[in-house]
Each structure stands twice: as structure tokens, then as C-alpha cells.
């Protein structure tokens, strides 16, 4: 099945801890890649986001999926695996020391699983390529700063 990977890095005046806290909020992931909404967040005992449900709109139809944290190194890196009937993917969010305070890098790899997503793969890939950098810019600009 077809796959594509996109990566974007944005510097911010937010601290590493502020960026980490934002990545633990499920609503942070709404609007990233094909995700249009998130719900039903679950957290590990240390407060790390461990799972949530999400919806992707593809070809005018809503596809419901799940996301699970596969690994993390607080407050530096956070990895999710996302899955629904048409798309599977991996998200890696990394926080690095950088001027003015830190930089956030988000990498998303998505793979088609079904016939519909395989058929629409070129359009999905083009849409993600066009929108992904701005989505990450918006994610980072929304991080609350003290």
C-alpha cells in the first residue's frame, strides 16, 4: 500500500516543559494530518497521553480511529500509532533545545489500508504536503507560554 512521510520543525519561545504539556493534550492533535477531531483521551499514571479516539474526513466520509502512545521520553519525545479502517500511521513529536527556548519537530508517516484511501492516495498526499507545515506552525504557536 502507498505511504508518505512529512516532517516540519518550528522554534518557539515556549519552554521544553510547556511544549511537552501541550503535546499531552488530545486537542493538540486535531487538525494535524487527516485528523479532524479527537475525543476519549486516556492518560498514564504520570500524566502522559496514552490513547485517544480520532476522526478523519476522507472523500466526504468520516472515518473513526484510535491513537495509542507507543513510546515516550518525557519531556523530549512522544510517539503515537494511529489506525482506522483506511489509514494507519505513526507520529513522532520531538522537542529540542533551540533559540529562543525550544523547537518542536513533528513527523507523520501515513499508510493507506483500504481501497478507498489507496485510490485517493495522490489527493491525500498532495493535501497533506500542502497543509502540514502550516498545521505544525499553528500547533506550536498555540502552546501556552509563561
For residue 146, tell me if it sits in a domain. Answer: no
pLDDT tens track for 57-66: 776 788 899 9
Whether 142 shows a pLDDT value over 80: the answer reads yes
Cβ partners under 8 Å of residue 74, min gap 6: 20, 46, 48
What's the domain range around 53? 3-141
For residue 92, tell me if it sits in a domain. Answer: yes
For residue 102, tell me if it sits in a domain. Answer: yes
Determine the Cα–Cα distance for residues 120 and 130; give it in Å rounded to an integer: 16
Q: Residue 105 sits in a domain of what CATH number? A: 3.30.530.20
What pLDDT does residue 33 have?
A: 81
Determine the Cα–Cα distance for residues 86 and 65; give it in Å rounded to an integer: 9
Cβ partners under 8 Å of residue 135, min gap 6: 31, 32, 33
Phi, psi torsion values for 136, nearest 5 degrees: -75, -40
pTM of the full structure: 0.91
Across the chain, the runs of DSSP E, i.e. the strands, are 3-12, 35-43, 49-58, 61-73, 77-84, 87-97, 102-112
For residue 104, tell me if it sits in a domain. Answer: yes
Overall number of domains in the chain? 1
pLDDT tens track for 69-94: 999 999 999 999 999 888 899 999 99
Amino acid at each position: 500500500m502507498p505511504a508518505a512521510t512529512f516532517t516540519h520543525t518550528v522554534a518557539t519561545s515556549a519552554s521544553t516543559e510547556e511544549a511537552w504539556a501541550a503535546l499531552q493534550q488530545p486537542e493538540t492533535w486535531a487538525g494535524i494530518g487527516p485528523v479532524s477531531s479527537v475525543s476519549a483521551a486516556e492518560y498514564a499514571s504520570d500524566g502522559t497521553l496514552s490513547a485517544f479516539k480520532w476522526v478523519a474526513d476522507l472523500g466526504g466520509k468520516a472515518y473513526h480511529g484510535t491513537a495509542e502512545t507507543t513510546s515516550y521520553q518525557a519531556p523530549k519525545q512522544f510517539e503515537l500509532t494511529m489506525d482506522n479502517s483506511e489509514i494507519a500511521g505513526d507520529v513522532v513529536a520531538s522537542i529540542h533545545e533551540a533559540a529562543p527556548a525550544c523547537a518542536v519537530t513533528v513527523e507523520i508517516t501515513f499508510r493507506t489500508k483500504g481501497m478507498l484511501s489507496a485510490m485517493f492516495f495522490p489527493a491525500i498526499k498532495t493535501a497533506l504536503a500542502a497543509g502540514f507545515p502550516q498545521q505544525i506552525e499553528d500547533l506550536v504557536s498555540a502552546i501556552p507560554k509563561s
